[in-house]
Amino acid sequence: MSWTQDPRELLRVPADFDINNFKRDATPGWEAGKKAGKKFRKQRGELMAELQERLFAQAQNGAQDSVLVIVQGMDTAGKGGIARHVISMVDPQGIHLKAFKAPTEEERNQHFLDRIRKELPKPGMIGLFDRSHYEDLLVPTAQKRAGHTDDQGISWIVSEDELNSRYHDIYEMEVEATKRGIRVIKLCLLVSYEEQGKRLMDRLLRPDKHWKFSPHDLDVRDQWNAYQATYEEVLRRTSTEIAPWYVIPADRKWYARLVATEIITRTLADIDPQWPAADFDVEASKARLELSLTDEALAKYQNERVGKLIKVAVDDEEVQTEVEAIQDSEE
């Protein structure tokens, strides 16, 4: 029960990416089925959580590594599910989650990346962007193709010069982020027209989902071809060596979440974060603490805790073995 191939290799956007022939219900690299996939994701989640804690810990000693996960996709593609079912498996103190909405009037009067830069993850953190600066490419391009405004009647269309400038600025920002130690993971969830229709109907039939629905969702759905062409163009133009896009078939939610977990875990394994060494005399501190404990309390501690400490040491070795196995599979 494992991947037949690193999903990053299978799902990376090629220069000639053809969105119309992309199978939204496929499970590239995974042949073991849904039940096994859910079980494997849970196991991988334990490794991801361990590596995330190490990433957070080593930053306390000055390490600069961090991870930024950008999730894009049309309505109902499952962006929120990545936060609820993948990122939720790690310690929340090491997570910075930001869901980007349409820019405010104040933000529109600033450079479009100003609001993005201040949300980039600090050392030791995993950042998750639910939508992102890529909306500043997708929305104006799609609106121009489709010939309509957003749900507030606002047109976001810009000139070709401005659009090209945005492409350049995004690339430069990702280069800058990479130099700062941020590993940029870009996930695009692609759901089929039929599956999106079912999920939108679910939102209409369930009162607890009405808050997720807007009639404008149907306006966008009516322009499906224009939006698909826009995604294809933006993905092709912005998938780079330092920050490639991974396109994930999203009709099967369990598979999309499995892929996201695997890609994040493998990225953390590439960083291979380590527990920071103590910057104090451990033995001297132990001796001082023991003096404050009664013989009875110390004996009870040793009986109750030593076995657990041995298990922690064994678990650390197992984590390192898993990391090395992932690294070896990439060579």
Identify whether 287 is part of a domain. yes
Same domain for 208 and 313, yes or no, is no
* Per-residue pLDDT at 309: 66
Same domain for 211 and 286, yes or no, is no
What gap in Å lies between CA 29 and CA 6, rounded to an integer? 7
What gap in Å lies between CA 130 and CA 120, rounded to an integer? 13
* Per-residue pLDDT at 146: 83
* Per-residue pLDDT at 187: 98
Q: Tell me if 38 sits within 8 A of 293, measured CB to CB.
A: no
What gap in Å lies between CA 69 and CA 129, rounded to an integer? 6
Same domain for 198 and 306, yes or no, is no
2 falls in which pLDDT band (50, 70, 90)?
A: confident
Identify whether 276 is part of a domain. no
Q: Which two tokens stand for residue 307?
A: 């076995």
Identify whether 299 is part of a domain. yes
CATH code, domain carrying 55: 3.40.50.300
* Per-residue pLDDT at 320: 77
Identify whether 243 is part of a domain. yes
Identify whether 277 is part of a domain. no
* Per-residue pLDDT at 299: 85
Measured distance between the N- and C-terminal CA atoms of the chain, rounded to whole angstroms: 21
State mean pLDDT over 48-61: 96
State mean pLDDT over 162-184: 97
State mean pLDDT over 191-220: 95
72 falls in which pLDDT band (50, 70, 90)?
A: very high
Same domain for 185 and 294, yes or no, is no
Query: What amino acid occupies position 267?
Result: T
Phi, psi of 277 (to 5 degrees): -70, 145
| Structural domain containing residue 243 | 7-271
- Directed axis angle between helix 160-179 and helix 135-146, to 10°? 160
310 falls in which pLDDT band (50, 70, 90)?
A: low
Same domain for 211 and 313, yes or no, is no
Say which range, 30-34, 204-208, 303-307, has the weakest mean pLDDT.
Answer: 303-307
- When the pLDDT of each residue in the chain is averaged and rounded to a whole number, the result is 93
State mean pLDDT over 34-48: 96
Same domain for 57 and 30, yes or no, is yes
Torsion of CA 320, 321, 324, 325, to 10 degrees: -150
Identify whether 131 is part of a domain. yes
The residue among 227, 250, 271 that closes a domain is 271
Same domain for 181 and 296, yes or no, is no
Whether 280 shows a pLDDT value over 60: the answer reads yes
Identify whether 2 is part of a domain. no
Identify whether 1 is part of a domain. no
State mean pLDDT over 45-74: 96
Same domain for 261 and 286, yes or no, is no
Same domain for 287 and 189, yes or no, is no
Same domain for 186 and 63, yes or no, is yes
Torsion of CA 60, 61, 63, 68, to 10 degrees: 0
Same domain for 26 and 132, yes or no, is yes
Same domain for 221 and 155, yes or no, is yes
pLDDT tens digit string along 213-237?
999 899 899 999 999 999 999 999 9
pLDDT tens digit string along 98-136?
999 989 989 999 999 999 999 999 999 999 999 999 999
Report the number of distinct structural domains present in the chain.
Answer: 2
* Per-residue pLDDT at 311: 62
